[in-house]
Amino acid sequence: MIKPSVEKNVRISNLIDIRKLTNSAFVLRFEKHDLSFTAGQHIALGIPDIIDTREYSIYSAENDEAMEVLIKEVEEGFMSPKFGKLVVGQKVKVMKPVGYFTINKDYLQSKRFVFIASGTGIAPFHSIIKSYPDINYSILHGIRTSEEAYERNEYTAGKYIACTSRDKNGDFHGRVTDYLQQNSIDTQAIYYLCGNYEMIDEAYGILEKAGVKPENLKAEVYF
């Protein structure tokens, strides 16, 4: 058992499991120690002896006994390829979960949530859905090919829509923003947008124009 690091906000955790999802995407599972969080929050992840850390949304549920993150290796990225080379038993630095991209629990019973993600931007939604199984939701996942529909079986059938831009094996051929433009928009739902800034910017514009109130639009920009 590894003792928590002496730095207050940092824990050193053993890697318990690595799930390879595609050639470049994987889920790291590691010890959680005493770190509690609210679904939707993110941690900074590092490797002992390397100064740099990177932020990752927590993928696992609030009450899961370990913690998981979903990482996509960025070509020529500094840290993500290093995380991709880790093996079970190695250690990672985990910094206190933080963030505001969380669900207002008062609305869990009364509202419908529409989660719109690009790529690994699905991670916080996975955590939210696993943490609040009764949540009324649908997910629009913008990916290039259907193999990037990371662990889609984890979501209730019919509630997950893979929007694939480079193949036709998803549920919709095109980008999430194309989907939004071609389908009716529920203006009463609460929308959460997560991933790259271009997608968020475009989707926000479409939703706002359709009449969704700004206070019902939340976003987390990754890059």
Ligand X SMILES: Cc1cc2nc3c(=O)[nH]c(=O)nc-3n(C[C@H](O)[C@H](O)[C@H](O)COP(=O)(O)OP(=O)(O)OC[C@H]3O[C@@H](n4cnc5c(N)ncnc54)[C@H](O)[C@@H]3O)c2cc1C
Q: Which is nearer to another protein, 54 or 155 (CB)?
A: 54
The set of long-range contacts for 1-5, using a CB threshold of 8 Å and a minimum separation of 24, is 2/31, 2/91, 4/33, 4/34, 5/93
Taken as a whole, the chain contains a residue count of: 223
Q: Does 204 bind another protein (CB under 8 A)?
A: yes
Q: List CB contacts of 88: < 8 A, sequence separation 6 or more.
A: 15, 16, 17, 18
Q: Does 214 bind another protein (CB under 8 A)?
A: yes
Q: Which is nearer to ligand X, 11 or 42 (CB)?
A: 42
CB of residue 83 to ligand X, shortest distance in Å: 8
Q: Which stretch binds ligand X (CB under 6 A): 14-22, 129-137, 168-176, 215-223?
A: 215-223
Q: Of another protein, ligand X, none, which one does residue 98 interact with (CB within 5 to 8 Å by kind)?
A: another protein
Q: Does 42 bind ligand X (CB under 6 A)?
A: yes
Nearest CA to 68 out of 9, 6, 101, 25 is that of 25
Q: Is residue 140 within 8 Å of residue 117, measured between CB atoms?
A: yes
Q: Which stretch binds ligand X (CB under 6 A): 63-71, 137-145, 184-192, 201-209?
A: 63-71
Q: Does 17 bind another protein (CB under 8 A)?
A: no
Nearest CA to 25 out of 144, 125, 167 is that of 144
Q: Does 74 bind ligand X (CB under 6 A)?
A: yes
Q: Which is nearer to ligand X, 12 or 123 (CB)?
A: 123
3-state secondary structure 114-149: EEEEEHHHHHHHHHHHHHCCCCCEEEEEEECCHHHC
Q: Does 71 bind ligand X (CB under 6 A)?
A: yes
Q: How far is 163 from 31, CA to CA, in rounded Å? A: 33
Interface with ligand X (CB under 6 A): 42, 54-57, 69-72, 74, 77-80, 119-120, 123, 220, 222-223
List residues binding another protein (CB under 8 A). 6-9, 44, 51-53, 55, 95-96, 98-101, 193, 197, 200-201, 204-205, 208, 214-215, 217, 219-223
